[in-house]
Amino acid sequence: MSDFLNAYSIQTWLESCPQGYLEDTEYGHAPGQKEPELILENPTLRQESIQSTVQLVVGERAALAASSGLINSAPDYPSKRFLATQTLDEARHVEIFTQRLYDLGVKKDELEDVISQYANPHLVKFAEVLLEKVDKGDFLAGVVGQNIVLEGMAFSVFEMMQASNVELNPKFAKTLSGTIADERRHVGFGENRIGSLLQEHPEKKPEIEQMQKDMTYHMLATFADSFRGNAPAMEETRKIAQEAIPDQKHQVWHGTDLGSADPAELENVLADTVLKEFKTRLGRIGLEYQEPAKP
Amino acid sequence: MSVETVEIHAREHDSFLEEVHSFEFWFQSVEGYLAGHPYGVDPSTPIPDLDEEEKATLIATLSTYCVGELAALDGAGGMIGFAPNRQAKIFLATQAVDEARHLEVMLHRLKELGVTDSQREFESRANRNLLAFRKRLLEFVDAKDWEASLLAQNVILESMEFAAFHSHMKTADPRTAQMLSGVLKDERRHMGFGENDLGRHLAQAPHARARLREIKKELDALVLATFEDSQRELGTPASERPEIGRLYLETVARLGFDS
């Protein structure tokens, strides 16, 4: 156990993250990079950007609460140490996505109102299911919920958003690339640490699988609201962007052309990618993926 | 979105706090003294040749420090969940990493001293008064009692560590002194946060001061008893023992929390 945890030392984290891929960045992007004028000047694009960034802030606030809340209940120092680095990673994500809201013109004294207005209720519920376990000091369930389910979801969502923004918004794409690197590390810890603990506590499996099922339902419902439930606005956003940048190169993500696929197709490719990862990762730690009802 | 209408002085102060409690500010602060210093030490600093007695004393001292740092890590991590605002949460996240780093660099120094299972070593040596302090701190944290947690963590515990490390640095070998120097720089930042946040809180809720005074009295006794136990164990002459306790009390008083 301790061998793999040595790879998650503060020293390694310092060298690879703040002194590595975050070196010479501010709020995760190159100094001086700005949101494109097109987004800032077009009310539809700006609103869409604010709405999607709010979901990132909500998710990262949950991740910050969960990772910090798990430090106390971690059974050993190396796990506490890793969770401390994860806590600061999540705090940084809260900071950079909040900063993006400011960059998009949200006033500081309006921040909480804007977040309340746009936060998807299913995403809020998703966080509540996880934080209930964390509050009870349930380390096993907390790490599965946080480092496999939440981080697994965040990883794919960030990847998809990053691919969509490479041409349209290099500043945001750069910000996302740093968070993707962080999430990759977090997911790795969850898989490695929990596998051995679950072997010691097989009686915990049904309860953890139920949590995964509940969280997955709320995740899929969030995706449904964000894509199918938001189809007209998404189509409008895409039309404006394509008119403004007609020669924009379409990005392909997991076999889907992000520039031409309709919202339902985008929802499917994201959900399929995340669920496939869930199944693989849960299988690796000895849990069986539980399929929720379709939202 | 409407035009910003916050009162100018309040906004400036909020902006200041937002800056100094940010990841960006933390990284700029630590980068200066951690870059090129793996485990808090310049690699070119030679490993000192300590005799067995000096080595045993240093191992005992570092083991006690580790217990304090573990308490600080658990405390800072636990406080994030009920910190009153985003800036405080982000600051405490930086503090959690600082505390985890302190533990890591101390465990690394223990390894250099030949301790093979440093984690087990420090846990087995835990001072009962320090453990009682940790228990009390985590009770405040479990109760989500912000002002008591902040007093115990960022004023009392940080001042205790400050006094201990500051005193130790005067006689420490170069590697240990360098390591402690970086740790002290972090502790100053943590104490500043406690002083600032608690000071503002008490200005708005002066009635809380009496309760905090009682908590401080209770915790002071544990801190001073920890110093006494550790110094007796290290063979410090009785006449010199009050010095570190005095430094601790002066540090707490400088932060505005005298008896």
Per-residue pLDDT tens digits for A49-70: 999 999 999 999 999 999 999 9
Nearest Cα residue to B136 out of B55, B14, B223, B77? B223
Residue A277 CB contacts under 8 Å (≥ 6 apart), including other chains: A152, A155, A156
Q: Is B74–A91 a contact, with Cβ atoms under 8 angstroms apart?
A: no
For chain A, give the mean pLDDT: 93
A9–chain B Cβ distance below 8 A for any pair = yes
Q: Is B73–A11 a contact, with Cβ atoms under 8 angstroms apart?
A: no
**Closest residue to B96, CB basis, from A77, A87, A98:** A87
CATH code, residues B50-254? 1.10.620.20
Q: To probe the interface with B, which of A77, A82, A109, A175 has the most B CB atoms within 10 Å?
A: A77
Note whether A155 and A180 are within 8 A (CB): yes
Helices assigned H by DSSP within B143-241: 146-150, 158-169, 174-204, 208-234
pLDDT digits (tens, 9 = 90+) for A103-162: 999 999 999 999 999 999 999 999 999 999 999 999 999 999 999 999 999 999 999 999
- The three-class DSSP label of residue A251 is coil
The percent of residues in chain B predicted with pLDDT above 90, rounded, is 58
In chain A, where are the structural domains located? 2-284
- The three-class DSSP label of residue A114 is helix
What are B47's two structure tokens? Answer: 């490993």
Note whether A129 and A66 are within 8 A (CB): no
Q: Flag whether pLDDT at B6 surpasses 50.
A: no
Note whether A168 and A289 are within 8 A (CB): no
- The three-class DSSP label of residue B133 is helix
Query: Which of A31-35, A187-191, B114-118, B226-230 has the lowest average pLDDT?
Result: A187-191
Which pLDDT band, with edges at 50, 70 and 90, does B240 fall under? confident
Q: Flag whether pLDDT at A187 surpasses 90.
A: no
Which pLDDT band, with edges at 50, 70 and 90, does A1 fall under? very low
Note whether B151 and B139 are within 8 A (CB): no
What is the total residue count of chain A?
295
Closest-CA residue of chain B to A18: B27
Residues on chain A touching B106 (C-beta within 8 angstroms): none
Q: Flag whether pLDDT at B124 surpasses 90.
A: no
Note whether A292 and A216 are within 8 A (CB): yes
Q: Is B77–A69 a contact, with Cβ atoms under 8 angstroms apart?
A: yes
User: Cα separation of A123 and A59, whole Å?
Assistant: 7
C-alpha distance from residue A195 to each of A6, A110, A183 (Å):
17, 43, 19
From the CA of B218, how many Å to the nearest CA of chain A? 23
CATH class of A2-284: mainly alpha
What are A243's two structure tokens? Answer: 């008119």
**Closest residue to A94, CB basis, from B6, B86, B100:** B86
Q: Flag whether pLDDT at B7 surpasses 60.
A: no
- pLDDT (0 to 100) of residue A245: 82
Residue A270 CB contacts under 8 Å (≥ 6 apart), including other chains: A156, A157, A160, A223, A227
For the segment B129-151, the average pLDDT, to the nearest whole number, is 96
Q: To probe the interface with B, which of A2, A80, A88, A185 has the most B CB atoms within 10 Å?
A: A88
What are A269's two structure tokens? Answer: 């490719």
The alpha-carbon radius of gyration of chain A (Å, integer) is 19
Q: Flag whether pLDDT at A192 surpasses 90.
A: no
Residue A197, classified by CB atoms within 10 Å of its CB into exposed (0-12), middle (13-18) or buried (19+), is middle
From the CA of B242, how many Å to the nearest CA of chain A? 33
pLDDT digits (tens, 9 = 90+) for B190-201: 999 999 899 888
What is the total residue count of chain B?
259
Query: How does DSSP classify residue A148?
Result: I
